[in-house]
A and B are shown apart, each in its own frame.
Chain A
Amino acid sequence: MVAAGPAWLIRDARPLGGPAADLLINDGVLTEIGTGLSPAGAQVLDAAGLIALPGLVDLHTHLREPGREDAETVETGTAAAALGGYTAVHAMANTEPVADTAGVVEQVWRLGREAGHCDVRPVGAVTAGLQGSRLAELGAMADSAARVRVFSDDGRCVSDAVLMRRALEYVKAFDGVIAQHAQEPRLTDGAQVNEGELSGRLGLTGWPAVAEEAIIARDCLLAAHVGSALHVCHVSTAGSVEIIRWAKSKGWRVTAEVTPHHLLLTDELAAGYDPVYKVNPPLRTQADVDALRAGLADGTVDCVATDHAPHPVEDKETEFQAAAFGMTGLETALRVVHAAMVATGLLDWAGVADRLSVRPALIGRLTGDGGAPAHGRPLTPGAPANLVLYDPHARSVVDPALHASRSRNTPFAGLALPGQVVATFLRGEPTVLDGKLAR
């Protein structure tokens, strides 16, 4: 077999934050872990003090291509992902045209391979054109070269109960999962911010927690009824965490994600009407943040997913209600999780690896079977060399001008966050070295 690339010896890294060890990479595979390993011709990377984690996997990324290349492209979005420590991202379907056919998902998949910064796994739309009226050709997308397994109308809710039931049932044929954007549309007509004290004070239409929780409860019951797999996107309320905890206690196949911004920020930030804080679902209260952190810590919430949603400046420099929903997140996610979960003692680095790599890889069916790439494997010999080296002692102020994403709508701008991604390896090839793109 032809070597996938030069061999690397990563010296003195701390796998999952544990004791220092050397990691030897050959032919894209982690071949040896131990102390005092001999380079034997391999390039040496001094990783003293750096934490080694399996390459991160994002279940929820908006790459915007095709259609909104002014906001992001597969090239810029995956570069941002690599800089954030990701080796695989799931590209959401709400592009123009919508990723609801084998042709579009294959295009996105191919663009990802050409960019080469990380694996791109297209998410297929559940309904044709995201219109919520009839199923898209889920089987064709599953059978395509892109091997789609995650389906979502994200940005919109599959609110029709019958359609949701059919989607959940149908994807059982190819071990698919329906990732639901839980938002009862009638309860959120014109909604701008979390419904509560803030929405009343600002005179902005409220987005009530019940609009998310009611759909999650319904979908858990539907998934149980048809014996299928439900994934809940961007859980944002304390009540949602409780419902998911209950569904899991029944043994139902329900998984959930939380975004970095919902782990760190609260609705009060929108008090100045700055649309950089406008996101869907909206920023909630501190009680919700606390419940989401606790849910992520105890595993009720399976993983962190960025919901990286780039927007051009003109879509944010407007009146609040005219602005687009969404925040970028790929380049800050690990640092935000560090601040919200590790610095607070809620998760250790093994826990971070589980929630940002192992579990999202399982939910995305990135198991290495049936031609899918393998991600989220433990850092043990034989695993594909997908990993990130992270400096936990670094600290810096987030400067959106330095981001690789084409868009600048990060709510963390100006915030001092811990940590720094130093290097990312995708199947043994560095995509990031010294905190900069390697290719």
Chain B
Amino acid sequence: MNRHLISAADLSRGDALLILDTAEELAQAADRPIRKLPTLRGRTVVNLFYEDSTRTRISFEAAAKRLSADVINFSAKGSSVAKGESLKDTAQTLEAMGADAVVIRHQASGAPHRLAGWVRGSVVNAGDGTHEHPTQALLDAFTMRRRLGRIDGLRVAIVGDVLHSRVARSNVLLLRTLGAEVTLVAPPTLLPVAVSSWPCEVSYDLSGALPKADVVMMLRVQAERMNAAYFPTVREYSRRYGLDAGRLALLPEHAIVMHPGPMNRGVEIAAEVADSPRSTIVEQVANGVSVRMAVLYLLLGGAGLAERPAEVA
């Protein structure tokens, strides 16, 4: 594995499977009475969050703490990239604190790349602008494998604002690495102009894509897109690209419905779909902690997992 996890493209098939397998073992530990493992004792993990994201920050914090790491939450929210302390100065501060890993969420695409050039520790991308969110893709893959038993050969439809979605980018890359077939479904305005160069299929027709999908992943429609002429109205978007009960019925019986959250109920996903047994949305949250534990564990080179059962025992 690389020292950093910045893009899903950084992961070989072997790396990705190692993370998923490690996460599986760690998830089993989570079911035990004492959840905490001593593997990262004495190591420092900094959560550097330039964007408000309670769920992702809490997930990383829980992951690090269950591995007994010291966690420092550095909330730089509100300090816009254009003013205040520069990212480079912040990086030097983190260096001085002796951060072994920096988990960064930032509104600027590529900020983790820049940070990785300025710190010695590992950098974990927890979402950068409209670029990538690799741990989300890993937890999505983990969830698919748990529900459907495999990833190889799965047909995955990713639906919505692909243009601005870091979740979609990371998922396309990782799912391709793991052998799934991805179809992006969106209005043409919400697809990158060169999407034909991506390793996936593209469709403008949600109803047409659903009958052959094993997984349908709904992307959040950001409020700021709603008034920028990407689509005429929220209602029209919902009619054409929302997953409602009628469309749910088009899916094969075994298919699952995913959403990275937070959801706009009634826009991209109907409430009865979000709450249906096919929805994995709550599991995705739980799986996020296991996957992020695995990522931190493997990047920071914690004690070999083989030793772990003894430690837990």
Contacts and interface: CB of A to CB of B under 8 A. Distances in A.
Interface of A: 195-197, 199-206, 208, 272-273, 314, 317-322
Interface of B: 81-82, 86-88, 106, 108-111, 113-114, 128-132, 163-164, 166, 169, 192-195, 197-198
Contacts of A208: 193
Given A318-B87, A318-B88, A206 B132 contact: no
Nearest to B87: A319
B86 A314 contact: yes
Nearest to B197: A197
A321 B195 contact: no
28 contacts: A196-B193, A196-B194, A200-B193, A200-B195, A203-B128, A203-B130, A203-B131, A203-B132, A203-B166, A204-B129, A205-B130, A206-B192, A273-B110, A273-B114, A314-B86, A317-B86, A318-B88, A319-B81, A319-B108, A319-B114, A320-B110, A321-B81, A321-B109, A321-B110, A321-B129, A322-B81, A322-B82, A322-B108
B87 A204 contact: no
Contacts of A272: 113
Contacts of B88: 317-318
Contacts of A320: 108-110, 114
A359 B100 CA distance: 58
B193 A273 contact: no
Nearest to B163: A200
B118 to A, nearest CB: 9
Given A197-B194, A206-B192, 7 more contacts: A200-B194, A200-B198, A273-B113, A318-B86, A319-B106, A319-B108, A322-B108
A367 to B, nearest CB: 44
B79 to A, nearest CB: 11
Instruction: Give 10 closest A-B pairs by Cβ, nearest first.
Output: A273-B110, A200-B192, A203-B131, A319-B108, A203-B130, A322-B81, A203-B109, A197-B194, A273-B113, A320-B110
B109 A202 contact: yes
Given A196-B194, A318-B88, A204 B109 contact: yes
A314 B81 CA distance: 12
A289 B166 CA distance: 30
A285 to B, nearest CB: 10
Contacts of B198: 200
Nearest to B6: A273
- B contact patch SS: loop
Nearest to A319: B108
A317 B106 CA distance: 16
Most buried by B among A197, A202, A314: A202
Contacts of A200: 163, 192-195, 197-198
A196 B114 CA distance: 22
A195 B195 CA distance: 11
Contacts of B114: 273, 318-320
Contacts of A319: 81, 87, 106, 108, 110-111, 114
B192 A202 contact: no
Given A321-B81, A322-B82, A202 B110 contact: yes
Nearest to A275: B114
A272 B114 CA distance: 8
Most buried by B among A272, A319, A321: A319
A203 B173 CA distance: 13
Nearest to B9: A201
A199 B192 contact: yes
Contacts of B195: 200
Contacts of B110: 202-204, 273, 319-321
A273 B109 contact: yes
A203 B106 contact: no
A322 B109 CA distance: 10
A218 B131 CA distance: 34
A272 B82 CA distance: 20
B254 to A, nearest CB: 32
Contacts of A322: 81-82, 108
Nearest to B196: A197
Nearest to B110: A273
A195 B129 CA distance: 17
Contacts of B82: 322
B64 to A, nearest CB: 25
A197 B130 CA distance: 14
Contacts of A196: 193-194
Nearest to A192: B109
A288 to B, nearest CB: 14
A205 B88 CA distance: 23
A208 B194 CA distance: 11
Contacts of A199: 192-194
Most buried by B among A196, A200, A204, A320: A200
Contacts of B106: 319
B91 to A, nearest CB: 10
A272 B112 CA distance: 10
B167 to A, nearest CB: 11
Contacts of B128: 203
Nearest to B50: A319
A318 B91 CA distance: 11
Contacts of A202: 109-110, 131
Contact of B193 (A203, A204, A206, A318): A206
Contacts of B87: 318-319
A191 to B, nearest CB: 13
A317 B90 CA distance: 12
